[in-house]
Chains A and B, each alone.
Chain A
């Protein structure tokens, strides 16, 4: 864990009482994941040491929350919502298109290691359905097929 990561995590820790470091575990894991792209065993152990909590308790958290990935997800993780509001706005078509274009199924990574496709639950932005996020951070809304095509081109 380098100094930059520590600094980010410390900021999260500072939100909680001094004897309740473990409260920052979700944030700390998210920071580690942003760094590597996914969470390795080493990341989990480091967070456990840093927050002084049992490794298994960190693993429990890392496996409970959907946005954590314990396997490599390629350079761009595309999480696409297929829940009802998106479904009603034809997210199925977008999914099909992505699968065909990238030649992968959900939870697979493209051969070049660039893309991974994840099916996601409601992201709380259904007014912009259908939608997706890239690497948990950037959201793209009101998708249609041309938009997907240009997005894929953008992602180098």
Chain B
């Protein structure tokens, strides 16, 4: 065990920034089809269609790459794609999940506006592999201008013959549409997203059946995150091994971390998985206004917060963060300096989950409201120490008992904030404010 860790750390120190999904970012006209093509873009789908490469071969390559779903759960993409039924009479769908709405997440937006064609090519390759005829990219409603931009990118791709009927004369058909949400975080959950595409409220479905057997209109459907799809062309071009080499064991390739909050230079940073937290923080200009780091939520609020002492030693990869009791999630890193009031921060996060609960299942609907109200009570100086116990207890009763993972996500910040910052909460209860 120790050996592995040590080896990893050695290896990691050599990790640097390397761009795959955001590789067009610093070029002129980054989002244009020309720019993408100047990097060899759409060459991979052309090659695949030309030589009719066996989809199984491509799936194997993706399995070798170690690519894991970038939407939060980190499920190996190659395995997921092999769940889609090969022989199926009706329409099969693939869906790109660009509904990022978890606080602190804004990476997919940059892919859409800076490198949309790589995403499109990734989706075409995916469609070829899973033999899907129709695709949707479901884009967060609030980034309207980027949605419009992506529609235009689709038009360009269509005009260039990469989408539609008989792509590049290969006989392969694939149509891809952009659709948008209109303000519902829960639609990021893949089955809620499917309901939303069907024109309904975004209420998650109970699984099983999984989308691969019962997705859009009951047809087999595969949902992946934007970054997942956007990684595909590079993997096909350079091989799974090369992608793997940019990461560490179990965490192949690069990953975008969206760094926000108390840093000098908030923004998206595509790193090679396995890089140290310190290096990333450094790159982001360090803590805001030279203050001291207090806490970091490494992967978005559904991943446990870590106090500075712990995160400082972290390496940023799936195993690295899980060893510390947190997770990569969607790579939404929220930095909090020592001026942060943890009660207020948790109050805001709990309000978010309370507001965004779709409301269909009891523990989430009733529990998130209850949790928020207790924290609000703490914040307003009307709570007792027993309320901290109640808060933990209620959160635990939501967790693991809901239809979708929003219930778990809502419980996570509560449990981890109280675990690491209990003093802040006790202070608040005793003195009606944070003593810092």
Bound: A67/B349 CA distance, A:
20
Chain B: minimal CB distance from A17 (Å): 7
| In the complex, B356 has a CB within 8 A of chain A | yes
Stretch of A109-117, A120-128, A146-154 lying at the B interface: A120-128
Interface size class of A (residues with CB under 8 A): 35 or more
Residues of chain A within 8 A (CB-CB) of B266 are: 85, 89, 126-129
Bound: A83/B400 CA distance, A:
25
Bound: A25/B202 CA distance, A:
12
Render B352-382 as a binary contact track against A, CB cut-off 8 A, 1 for contact.
1001101000000000000000000000000
On whether A30 and B180 interact (CB within 8 A), knowing A22-B198, A136-B144, the answer reads yes
Bound: A83/B233 CA distance, A:
34
Chain B: minimal CB distance from A24 (Å): 7
Q: Is the CB of A27 within 8 A of B180?
A: yes
Q: Which of A20-70 contact B (CB under 8 A)?
A: 20, 22-27, 29-30, 51, 53, 57, 60-61, 64-68
Q: Is the CB of B260 within 8 A of A17?
A: no
Residues of chain B within 8 A (CB-CB) of A26 are: 179-182, 196, 199
Chain B: minimal CB distance from A70 (Å): 13
Q: Is the CB of B352 within 8 A of A87?
A: no
Bound: A76/B179 CA distance, A:
24
Q: Is the CB of A133 within 8 A of B142?
A: yes
Stretch of B46-54, B104-112, B163-171, B247-255 lying at the A interface: B104-112
Render B319-348 as a binary contact track against A, CB cut-off 8 A, 1 for contact.
000000000000010111000100011001
Bound: A12/B257 CA distance, A:
33
Q: Is the CB of B336 within 8 A of A88?
A: yes
| In the complex, A18 has a CB within 8 A of chain B | no
Bound: A47/B197 CA distance, A:
16
Q: Is the CB of A64 within 8 A of B201?
A: yes
Q: Which of B234-290 contact A (CB under 8 A)?
A: 258-262, 266-268
On whether A84 and B348 interact (CB within 8 A), knowing A15-B179, A23-B197, the answer reads yes
Q: Is the CB of A22 within 8 A of B199?
A: yes
Residues of chain A within 8 A (CB-CB) of B258 are: 126-127
Residues of chain B within 8 A (CB-CB) of A24 are: 199
Please classify the interface of chain A as helix (H, G, I), strand (E, B), loop, or mixed, using the class held by over half of its residues. Answer: mixed
Bound: A139/B1 CA distance, A:
48
Q: Is the CB of A23 within 8 A of B199?
A: yes
Name the one of B136, B260, B348 contacting A126, with C-beta atoms under 8 angstroms: B260
Interface size in chain B (residues, C-beta < 8 A): 55
| In the complex, A138 has a CB within 8 A of chain B | yes
Chain A: minimal CB distance from B294 (Å): 11
On whether A124 and B109 interact (CB within 8 A), knowing A15-B179, A82-B348, the answer reads yes
Q: Is the CB of A123 within 8 A of B199?
A: no
Bound: A86/B177 CA distance, A:
31
Q: Is the CB of B144 within 8 A of A83?
A: no
Q: Is the CB of A85 within 8 A of B198?
A: no
Bound: A56/B17 CA distance, A:
51
Stretch of B7-15, B72-80, B95-103, B207-215 lying at the A interface: B95-103
Bound: A37/B335 CA distance, A:
37
| In the complex, A137 has a CB within 8 A of chain B | yes
A28 closest partner in B (C-beta): B199
Q: Is the CB of B199 within 8 A of A25?
A: yes
A53 closest partner in B (C-beta): B199
Q: Which of B109, B136, B267 has the most CB of A within 10 A?
A: B109
**B contact set with A: CB distance below 8 Å:** 91, 100-106, 108-109, 136, 140-145, 177, 179-185, 196-202, 217, 258-262, 266-268, 301, 332, 334-336, 340, 344-345, 348-349, 352, 355-356, 358
8 pairs of A and B residues whose beta carbons are closest in the complex: A66-B183, A67-B183, A123-B142, A85-B260, A65-B182, A22-B199, A126-B260, A88-B261
Could you show 28 A-B contacts with beta carbons less than 8 Å apart?
A15-B136, A20-B198, A26-B180, A26-B196, A61-B200, A64-B184, A65-B141, A67-B142, A79-B142, A83-B103, A84-B103, A84-B345, A85-B104, A85-B261, A88-B260, A88-B336, A89-B262, A120-B183, A121-B101, A122-B101, A122-B185, A124-B140, A126-B103, A127-B259, A127-B266, A129-B266, A136-B142, A136-B144
Given contacts A60-B201, A84-B104, 4 further A-B pairs with CB under 8 A are: A122-B104, A124-B100, A127-B268, A139-B145
